[in-house]
């Protein structure tokens, strides 16, 4: 498993061009200004006070003059403007990325800043940049103002072919092939692609964050003009994002990094902790599996066998077993990523509670889902959650998200964003090639590729295997199961060799209408991916991207037979050759190329694996540890392979202290035991409830880059105050809780997945003030400390369900079942009274009644204890 180098800080060089100082206001105002870079030009005109902007490439008009400007509550800065002055400069930036088309970037942009004055002396700067791969402009105001809209637009020939995305705020529609004028009246999302003669123009935006609102393109049928429409009716800002047009041939568009070049430089100085890689993901192929600890261990084992970086545990995971899964995975060289609904982290308090907790478990990243908004408020949430995850060294994948706006340059721990109709939507193969020329141009794309046995299976197996080359994503979440991949060993062999980050990307062949062939280099190896949509054909790939000399090219193609494994063949070729491969309907192929050296028969590299190790700790099982108490722990570590730089020690939870030094060894031979002993004290500031005391061994070993982390935990229970009097359960702290949908709600129904979104508890028309709202399967445990004598509650299904459900309620004391309701369906609350004398832990459970968990909103109403005072 290869670690990325520590990335250098951004270096920016800004040079004022000769004569670039602001022109005096008394100078004769010119009517047209041009800014150019290597054949790419933007022309700004000011006619009768109305500014317009056009784009030419190689002398050819690609975007005709279209309106620019904006409107605020205080002024209309799109008309009646006068020229004040100009500045010109060249902006040269060198920076590194953790993801994307290539690690090392260098951009050179010519900049024109036009200062304009409107009615009442209102000022506006129009900042225009030209690069070899496109043009961008933005507006800057002297101070923050309330912006009510932009005049910004792009003008194209009505007959220009177009590939457009009907807008929704999660960008998961099918793209439509049409013309600029033939598209219907409506809104279209970025990026939108148009062809004007020999040139293509990809329209999007860059550097959009919480300082502004997101936008889309509005269009009237028959017109070639596309106007920028903001997500908010009004937004307070001083500066807008870049309105961006990537322009050139398909190679220029596909290889462009303009969106990143325009973005705010990185806010993360040390990126050594950021790790892209391949990720096993179970949700699509085995939908209930994220709730299944044992099934997730199988995905971990698969990832470990194949040297994949991580396992993503999607919706359904439980805090009861995730820490143990993390320990299991990290001992095998695999990291864990956890899914969250964005609303789980929509407040600063949640971000400051939940994120540090999962980081303390050893989780390395989070998938955040269902943001589904381009408003300024939601963009400010992105800013806040990215700042907090960066502080905690948690990497991020955004799902149900907006498109990339260069955000991965600003926050390099973003590993991917969805904003695509990916594999979970079972897209037809016809929609795949266009993504290489549109969505994936602007940033990493979480398509979740390589569906072999899952999904609709319309694309060939080789087409699927080629997708993670054609589609770039810093984390590539593979869509299928271990069993599917292992039943296709040649396909898996190729996937195991694939990197997910690249030193170079080249467009090789293709067209948005039917196919895409891309080559990407990692170190001294090239990977080639080719996908087609439509009839069987011969696909060709010129190998001019290869360097001089002879190359071993291993081609992976479809074999005859439905869903058969791919076959591999080896050829020796040079950069002057063209690769031709016959592909079936919706087919494709992949390849890997390396230098043809004497005796070399494959480009494959040996997979890395960590040693098998054991770490035994005592005491085992649950230990009662009141605040202020102390106890002794011991640990013994051994491994089946020699290791170096071993460190073995407990990691004290907050409020705890450890007496005794870490055990260290420079080298440890295979099979040799290393032991340690420590005294641990529970501090007065310790959290109540179950607390894990991790014992951690870290070490290095030959054939593995970075350190291996092996951990076991002593589980301690810090008793909270025992209840007294007649408290409601909803007013007590929970020792543990799990819920089948969203969190357990106190004094509210469960309703939807967000915390605090419940309705009044209502059973058969009766409203109850106190109780618990749960969703099967659910468990809530509270500490009684042997001080209570009885528990009473009403049990039933909440009236908020839209279809009948069925549940069974169970009450247990210290693991012994005290009450079982049997299966209940909608109806009046069923009373339950249970003797809990001497019970230390009371657990309230709900099961699904045997017919799945749909609509199983289960209420414990008036749930109350009778305890000693």
Nearest Cα residue to 827 out of 797, 860, 792, 793: 797
Q: How far is CA 712 from CA 294, 296, 626, 662, 664, in A?
A: 18, 18, 22, 15, 17
Residue 687 lies in a domain: yes
752 is known as an active-site residue: no
> Which secondary-structure segment (H or E) carries 72?
strand 70-72
Residue 834 lies in a domain: yes
In the block, tokens 């309705």 appear at 759
HSE, CB side, 13 Å, CA atoms: give it for residue 588: 35
Collapsed DSSP state (helix, strand, coil) of residue 200: strand
Note down the domain range covering 26: 11-261
pTM of full prediction above 0.85:
yes
Decide if 553 contacts 570 (C-beta within 8 A): yes
Which residues are CB-neighbours of 680 under 8 A, at least 6 positions away? 630, 631, 632, 633, 650, 652, 656, 657, 658, 659, 693
CA distance 96 to 746: 48
CA distance 338 to 326: 10
Residues 734 and 712 in one domain: no
Decide if 465 contacts 431 (C-beta within 8 A): no
Which residues are CB-neighbours of 797 under 8 A, at least 6 positions away? 763, 804, 805, 806, 807, 824, 825, 826, 827, 855, 856, 857, 858, 859
Q: How far is CA 387 from CA 267, 376, 391, 397, in A?
A: 9, 16, 6, 14
Residues 704 and 733 in one domain: no
Residue 675: CATH number of its domain: 2.60.40.10
* Catalytic-role residue among 199, 260, 374, 424: 424
Terminal-to-terminal C-alpha distance of the chain = 59
How many domains does the chain fold into?
3
Residue 241 lies in a domain: yes
Residue 161 lies in a domain: yes
Residues 783 and 820 in one domain: yes
Question: 80: left (phi > 0), else alpha (psi -120 to 50), else beta?
Answer: left
Residue 80 DSSP label = S
CA distance 513 to 645: 55
Q: What is the pLDDT of residue 754?
A: 78
Q: Which of 663, 690, 718 is the endpoint of a domain?
A: 718
Residue 170 lies in a domain: yes
Q: Are strands 551-557 and 588-595 parallel, antiparallel or unpaired?
A: antiparallel
Decide if 799 contacts 736 (C-beta within 8 A): no
Q: What is the pLDDT of residue 16?
A: 44
Q: Which of 718, 746, 762 is the endpoint of a domain?
A: 718
CA distance 138 to 114: 11
Q: Which of 238, 261, 284 is the endpoint of a domain?
A: 261
Q: What is the pLDDT of residue 202?
A: 98
Ranges of beta strands (E only) in 754-813 are 761-763, 766-768, 771-775, 778-783, 788-797, 807-813
CA distance 484 to 451: 9
CA distance 248 to 471: 21
Residues 678 and 632 in one domain: yes
Residues 702 and 803 in one domain: no
Residues 113 and 183 in one domain: yes
Decide if 133 contacts 246 (C-beta within 8 A): yes
pLDDT along the chain (869 residues), means of 10: 40 42 43 96 97 97 98 97 97 98 98 97 97 98 98 98 98 97 98 98 98 98 98 98 98 98 97 98 97 97 98 94 97 98 95 96 98 98 98 98 98 98 96 98 98 96 98 98 98 98 98 96 98 97 97 98 96 97 98 97 96 95 88 97 97 93 97 97 92 96 93 94 97 93 94 88 98 96 97 97 94 97 96 97 94 91 96
Residues 770 and 841 in one domain: yes
Nearest Cα residue to 464 out of 453, 473, 472, 452: 452
Give CA torsion, residues 775, 779, 782, 786, to 10 deg.
130
CA distance 728 to 864: 4
Say if residue 214 is preceded by a cis peptide, omega within 30 of 0: no
Residues 127 and 251 in one domain: yes
Residues 733 and 714 in one domain: no
Residue 789: CATH number of its domain: 2.60.120.1060
Residues 696 and 816 in one domain: no
Residue 844 lies in a domain: yes
CA distance 712 to 278: 26
Q: How far is CA 74 from CA 50, 80, 126, 140, 722, in A?
A: 18, 14, 18, 15, 62
Residues 712 and 744 in one domain: no
Residues 108 and 255 in one domain: yes
Residue 562 lies in a domain: no
CA distance 81 to 150: 15
Residue 177: CATH number of its domain: 2.70.98.10
Which residues are CB-neighbours of 164 under 8 A, at least 6 positions away? 175, 176, 178, 183, 188, 192, 193
Q: What is the pLDDT of residue 30?
A: 67
Nearest Cα residue to 203 out of 189, 220, 213, 214: 189
* Catalytic-role residue among 232, 369, 745, 799: 369
232 is known as an active-site residue: no
Residue 760 lies in a domain: yes
């Amino acid at each position: 498993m290869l670690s990325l180098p520590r990335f250098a800080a951004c270096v920016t060089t800004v040079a004022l061009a000769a004569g670039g100082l602001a022109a005096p206001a008394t100078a004769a105002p010119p009517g047209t200004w041009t800014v150019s870079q290597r054949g790419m030009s933007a022309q700004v005109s000011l006619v009768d006070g109305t500014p317009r902007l056009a784009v030419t490439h190689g002398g050819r008009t690609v975007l005709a003059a279209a309106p620019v400007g904006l409107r605020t509550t205080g002024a209309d800065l799109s008309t009646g403007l006068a020229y004040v002055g100009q500045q010109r400069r060249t902006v040269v930036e060198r920076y590194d990325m953790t993801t994307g088309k290539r690690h090392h970037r260098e951009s050179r942009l010519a900049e024109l800043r036009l200062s304009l004055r409107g009615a009442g002396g209102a000022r506006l700067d129009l900042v225009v940049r030209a690069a070899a791969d496109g043009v961008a402009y933005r507006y800057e105001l002297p101070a923050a103002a309330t912006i009510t809209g932009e005049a910004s637009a792009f003008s194209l020939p009505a007959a220009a072919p177009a590939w457009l995305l009907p807008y929704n705020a999660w960008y998961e529609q099918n793209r439509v092939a049409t013309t600029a004028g033939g598209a219907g009246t409506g809104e279209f999302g970025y990026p939108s692609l148009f062809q004007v003669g020999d040139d293509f123009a990809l329209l999007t935006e860059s550097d959009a964050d919480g300082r502004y609102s997101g936008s889309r393109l509005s269009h009237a049928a028959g017109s070639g003009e596309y106007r920028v429409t903001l997500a908010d009716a009004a937004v307070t800002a001083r500066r807008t994002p870049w309105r961006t047009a990537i322009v050139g041939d398909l190679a220029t568009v596909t290889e462009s990094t303009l969106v990143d070049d325009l973005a705010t430089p990185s806010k993360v100085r040390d990126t050594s902790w950021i790790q892209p890689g391949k990720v096993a993901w179970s949700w699509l192929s085995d939908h209930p599996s994220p709730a299944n600890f044992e099934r997730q261990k199988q995905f971990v084992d698969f990832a470990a066998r194949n040297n994949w970086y991580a396992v993503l545990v999607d919706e359904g995971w439980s805090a009861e077993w995730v820490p143990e899964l993390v320990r299991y995975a990290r001992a095998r060289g695999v990291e864990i990523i956890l899914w969250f609904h964005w609303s789980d982290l929509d407040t600063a308090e949640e971000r400051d509670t939940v994120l540090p907790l999962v980081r303390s478990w050893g989780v390395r990243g989070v998938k955040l889902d269902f943001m589904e908004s381009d408003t300024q408020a939601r963009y400010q949430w992105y800013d806040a959650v990215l700042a907090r995850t960066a502080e905690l060294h948690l990497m991020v994948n955004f799902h149900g998200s907006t498109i990339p706006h260069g955000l991965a340059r600003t926050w390099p721990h973003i590993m991917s964003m969805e904003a695509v109709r990916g594999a979970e939507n079972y897209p037809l193969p016809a929609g795949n090639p266009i993504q290489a020329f549109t969505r994936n141009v602007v940033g990493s794309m979480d398509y979740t590729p390589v569906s072999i046995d899952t999904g609709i299976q319309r694309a060939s197996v080789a087409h699927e295997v080629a997708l993670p080359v054609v589609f770039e994503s810093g984390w590539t979440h593979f869509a299928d199961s271990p069993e599917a991949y292992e039943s296709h060993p040649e396909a898996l062999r190729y996937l195991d060799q694939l990197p997910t980050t690249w030193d170079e990307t080249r467009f090789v062949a293709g067209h948005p209408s039917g196919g895409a062939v891309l080559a990407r280099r990692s170190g001294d190896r090239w990977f080639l991916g080719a996908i087609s949509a439509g009839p069987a054909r011969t696909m060709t790939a010129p190998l001019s991207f290869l360097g001089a000399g002879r190359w071993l090219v291993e081609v992976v193609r479809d074999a005859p037979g439905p869903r058969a494994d791919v076959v591999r063949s080896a050829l020796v070729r040079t950069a002057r050759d063209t690769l031709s491969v016959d592909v079936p309907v919706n087919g494709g192929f992949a390849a890997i190329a390396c230098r043809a050296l004497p005796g070399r028969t494959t480009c494959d590299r040996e997979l890395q694996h960590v040693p098998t190790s054991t770490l035994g700790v005592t005491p085992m099982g649950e230990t009662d540890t009141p605040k202020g108490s102390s106890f002794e722990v011991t640990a013994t570590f051994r491994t089946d392979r020699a290791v170096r730089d071993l460190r073995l020690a407990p990691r004290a939870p907050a409020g705890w202290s450890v007496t005794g030094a870490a055990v260290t060894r420079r080298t440890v031979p295979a099979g040799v035991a290393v032991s340690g002993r420590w005294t641990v004290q529970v501090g007065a500031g310790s959290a109540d409830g179950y607390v894990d005391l991790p014992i951690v061994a870290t070490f290095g070993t030959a054939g593995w880059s970075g350190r291996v982390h092996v951990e076991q935990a002593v589980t301690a229970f810090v008793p909270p105050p025992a209840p007294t009097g007649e408290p409601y359960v909803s007013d007590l702290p929970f020792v543990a809780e799990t819920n089948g949908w969203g969190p357990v709600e106190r004094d509210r129904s469960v309703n939807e997945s967000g915390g605090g979104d419940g309705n009044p508890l209502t059973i058969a028309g009766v409203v109850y003030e106190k109780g618990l709202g749960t969703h099967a399967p659910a468990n809530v445990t509270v500490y009684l400390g042997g001080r209570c004598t009885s528990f009473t509650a009403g049990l039933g299904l909440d009236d908020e369900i839209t279809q009948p459900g069925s549940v069974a309620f169970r009450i247990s004391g210290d693991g012994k079942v005290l009450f079982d309701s049997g299966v209940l369906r909608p109806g009046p609350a069923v009373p339950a009274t249970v003797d809990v004398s001497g019970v230390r832990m009371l657990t309230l459970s709900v099961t699904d009644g045997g017919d799945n968990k749909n609509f199983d909103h289960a209420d414990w109403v008036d749930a109350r204890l009778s305890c000693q005072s």
